[in-house]
A and B are shown apart, each in its own frame.
Chain A
Amino acid sequence: MVGLTKKKERIDQLAASSATAVVDPTDVESSGGSILADAWRRLRVSPVFWIGAVIISVFVLIAIFADVIAPHDPGELLLRSQTRLARNQLAPPQPGFPLGGDQLGRDLFSRLVIGSRQTLLVGVFATLIGFTGGLILGTLAGAFGGKVDTVVMRLVDVLLSIPSLLLAISIAALFANPSQTSVIIAVSVVQIPVFARLLRGQMLAQRESDHVLAARALGVKRAPIVFRHMLPNSLSPVIVQATLVVAISIIDAAALSFLGLGSQSVKVPEWGQMLGEAQQKIDSYPHLAFWPAGCIIVVALGFTLLGESLREALDPKNRR
């Protein structure tokens, strides 16, 4: 209700449009194959999809093999002797240290490589938690309707009425000692109402759809209808949203780090934290900020591109 009806209606519309497509048998027929095969046919020729996929693959590979790739321990002050902050001097790039040292004399390259892990963790876990929470709430509301729906959705409305970053900050502030975990929780809780609303809209559209009505008329019980008919057909816009949320979470987490609500760990580097620290001295050493920022932008862009291409491919309007 209140104020945000439009935001919701848009989410619901999104839901409804794809729901009808899934239901309409002629649509499936004309595309000459399953929805997935059809989507894949369009993805295969989409440069947006391939750029996104390559960025994400490279990023995930780096995160997995970070220990092998990183030449040094990211926490060790190997280049401290060359660092003179008073004279605005940092260790320059040199053999073994392709990007030089940071303000404490640690190897910048190794910190970036190891940092990819934390970023991946934040992105993936925040999305998983947000997705799962939204899935539970949305399924409850969508499957039962009535009072359950009203209560769940009112709560969702209230949460949606707080600007997302402000909500994330508020949640992060609840933790006495900010850490990677608190960041993940703060960033993911923000996404729960979004997923819940999206999924509920989908489920409601499905409830009214012909095949669910048919199943109900045939006497199929509630649980099988929900889990076999409604849920699978509701998922495609949710998957698109999930891909985009990975990018949003990474950016939000960086914002929390910037505001001093991120991980304070000295040992485990994280891009948002590196960026936050570097920004205090951006006038003197801009490259210290540009590297982690560049990494965040490229990865966020990768997930955004993937999400956009999926949306495009799964959009019933594009199905001919």
Chain B
Amino acid sequence: MLRYIVRRLIQLVVVMFVLSLLLFLWLRSLPGGPDSAICGERCTPDQRVAMRHALGMDQPIWVQYFKYMGRVFTGNFGYSSGVEPGTPAIEVFLHRLPATIELTIGALIFAIVLGIPLGYFAARRKGGIFDNLGIISSLVGIAIPVFFLAYLLKFVFAVKLGWLPDSGRQSTDLAQPATRVTGFFVLDGLITREWDASWDAFRHLILPSIALGTIPFAVIFRITRSSVIDVQNEDYVRTAEAKGLTTQVIRRRHILRNAMLPVVTVTGLQVGALLAGAVLTETVFAYPGLGQATAIAFQLRDFAVLQVLVLASAATYTLVNLVVDLSYALIDPRIRTR
């Protein structure tokens, strides 16, 4: 088991290395690379040469790569030029990270808390009205573009009905704005006992979480449903029935436990969809997280911030999947005892 973890960590390093190479090549081949981004559209050839020299772009490509790797390892990605001009890119990232984590957790909770029980009930009554409704809504959930769903929710519940705030992480008119402790506003409010601030942050999370969580919800619902249906027909469930066990024991011990295996995997994979979806959702709700930063960084060609974001999201995605695989081993003895 320990060897397995070590092997996976080594693989992780290899992927990150190849990724950083790709990222370097990608940054180099972006239209109007870093030089003209900093220099501006109307810069003279002389200025451009000077700028290229200042940026080290006139050196051989492998020298540039080593310098780049050095910067990556020291966390020195340069200064943001567009998202939060003048701030070190890594700080932009760290400062916005809690917001996105909070949103992602909200979306995952929404997806899991709804997806697994509903998927289970749909499977129990396969072919019934509830099952068909569930399938249809999960298919529609997958077919709706995330950003449109976000707009729809915002339009109905924030603009028309006014039940929930339409943008940001906290209200500007809050009597006592949250004290920043961890950066997770809901949590901060609880720590500092600023209940209003915590509640306010929570209300800001609801709509974006639903928008972002809809696709994972649909996916988790479907995998739970099909997994439960598959497991129901397994021989060992028949054995359990033949043993005369009570329905509760059969469901909990023999069906759910086995059916959860693929659900765990797929939930881990949804983190990728969440990171991508956050770009769209945060943009719609003007939510100051990493997703919004990504969208702005692309529009303003803020390369320093971009490389941190791409590298970080790939690292997060791979790490989360590593964690998922390990937790998988906890439920599945076939992997644990290998």
Contact = CB atoms under 8 A, between A and B. Distances in A.
- A contacts B: CB pair < 8 Å: yes
Q: Name the prevailing secondary structure of the B interface residues.
A: helix
A5 B230 CA distance: 22
Contacts of B8: 1-3
Interface in B134-154: 139-140, 142-148, 151
B30 A174 contact: yes
Given A2-B322, A6-B324, A170-B26, A258 B280 contact: yes
Contacts of B31: 174-176
A6 B310 CA distance: 22
Interface string A143-166: 000000000001101100111111
A282 B160 CA distance: 12
Given A154-B18, A161-B318, A297-B140, A255 B147 contact: yes
B82 interface: no
Contacts of B275: 163, 166
A175 B26 CA distance: 11
Interface stretch (A74-82, A108-116, A298-306): A298-306
B262 A10 contact: yes
Interface in B263-307: 265-266, 268-269, 272-273, 275-277, 279-280, 283-284, 294-295, 298-299
B310 A3 contact: no
Interface string A1-20: 11111110110000000000
A254 interface: yes
Given A3-B12, A173-B30, A289-B151, A164 B142 contact: no
B276 A166 contact: yes
A161 B151 contact: no
A259 B147 CA distance: 10
Nearest to A258: B147
Contact of A3 (B151, B230, B322): B322
B151 A304 contact: no
B22 interface: yes
A177 B54 CA distance: 27
Contacts of B280: 165, 255, 258-259
Contacts of B145: 251, 254-255, 258, 275, 293, 296-297
A173 B279 CA distance: 15
B32 interface: yes
Given A10-B265, A161-B15, A259-B283, A3 B298 contact: no
A298 B283 CA distance: 24
Interface in B218-265: 230, 262, 265
A161 B314 contact: yes
Nearest to B273: A163
A164 to B, nearest CB: 6
Contacts of A286: 155
Given A5-B325, A260-B299, A157 B15 contact: yes
B324 to A, nearest CB: 6
A242 interface: no
27 contacts: A1-B15, A3-B12, A3-B319, A3-B321, A3-B322, A4-B317, A5-B325, A6-B268, A10-B265, A154-B14, A157-B15, A158-B15, A158-B19, A161-B318, A162-B310, A163-B273, A163-B275, A163-B313, A166-B275, A247-B143, A255-B147, A258-B147, A259-B298, A259-B299, A275-B145, A282-B155, A301-B140
